[in-house]
Amino acid sequence: MDVNRDKPDRWKPDIALSVDMYNCWFLEFAPEAYRNTRIHTAKEVEATLKTTENLTNIKTANLKANPSVIRTLRMSTCPPLAVDRLIGLAGVSKNLVLAMEKGKLPSRMLDHDLEKQLEEISQVIEKMADTDIFVWLSGKMKPSEKEIYRAATIVADRLCGSVANPVIRNAQEKRQLAAISRWLDQRDYRQFAPGEGTKFDTMDPGTYAFRLNVPVQPEGALRTINIPVDAVIMPKTAKTGDFPLLVEAKSAGDFTNVNKRQKEEATKATQLRHTYGDRIHYILFLCGYFNTGYLGYEAAERIDWVWEHRIDDLTEFGL
C-alpha cells in the first residue's frame, strides 16, 4: 500500500511543514554547534600556525612530524581546498590525505613514497597559499601579531564551516533516530542493543535495530555486499518468513544538494528488490528541504516515505 508517494496533492504542503520543522531545530541547535566548533577550530589553527612558523615551514619533514596540520593548510589556500581537490592537484594517495586528516600517517606506505607524496602536498600548499590573508608570505617579512591574529581568524572561520556542517548532519540524524525510537518504544517495541548480534531477517516481531547491515547481491555480481540501513523494524504482526521494514533517515538543510543524493536511495532499493523481491519494503524518513523533483524521482523508483512532522504515518506501514 502506498502512503505518501501516490499523493502528490499534499507534497507541497508537506514540504513547507518539513522545512519549518528543520529550521526550528537548526535555529536551536546550530548556534551552539558553531560556537563549540569555532572554539575548537580556533585552537587548531593557532597550533598549526605555531607548528608551521606562520606557514613559512610546511616542508616534508614538518608534515611528516605533524600530519594533522593538513586540515588547516587546506583552508589556508586560495581557494580553500576540499580533500578530493587536494588529492587530485597533488596526485597523491587518498589514504594518505585521509589519514593525515585524522592526525596519522598510513602505516603501510613505504618511506620513499611517503616522502615523495608529502613533498607534492607541500608544493601545492606553498603555491596556492592565500597571500591576501598571509600577507607576509609575499614580502618575506616577519608578520605582526595583528596580522597573525587576522589570518588565524579567517582560516578558523573557513575551517569551522567545513567541520560544523558534518556535526550538524550527524546531530540531525541522531535526532531522527531518537524520534523513531521514542515512537516505537511508546508502542512496546524492543530495541536490540548494539553488538547483540541480530540479523535483519531473523528478528522477532515487535523488535527494531539501528544501523544494521543488510546483505544484497547486485545484479550481475558474483558475491553479496552489505548495505547499511538506518532503522530496521519487524512489525508486531509479522509472520514467519516476513521481512522487516527498512527505514532510511534523511535530512537536508537546503534544496541544492538533495537531487545529488536521490540516486543513492534508488540504488539501494533496486539492490534490495533484486535480492529479496517485492516482499521487502524500503522507505525514507524525511525532515528538511526535499523538493517535488526529489519526491517525484523517489516515487518513480517505487520508494515511499514518512515525514518526521507526521511520524504517525508509520502505522500505515504495518507498525
Q: Which amino acid is at 235?
A: P
Helix (H, G, I), strand (E, B) or coil at 190: strand
- Work out the average pLDDT over 267-289: 91
DSSP 8-class letter at 193: P
For the chain, what is the mean pLDDT?
89
- Work out the average pLDDT over 156-170: 82
Task: Choose the weakest-confidence range: 178-182, 259-263, 266-270.
Answer: 259-263
Element (H, E) at 282: strand 281-288
- Of residues 195 and 66, which shows the higher confidence score? 66
Are 12 and 290 spatial neighbours (Cβ–Cβ below 8 Å)?
Answer: no
pLDDT in tens, 77-119: 999 998 999 999 999 999 999 999 999 999 888 889 999 999 9
Residue 24's pLDDT is 93
* pLDDT interval class at 195 (50, 70, 90): low
- Grid cell 544538494 in the structure block, residue: 257
Domains present along the chain, CATH in parentheses? 8-28+169-317 (3.40.1350), 33-165 (no CATH)
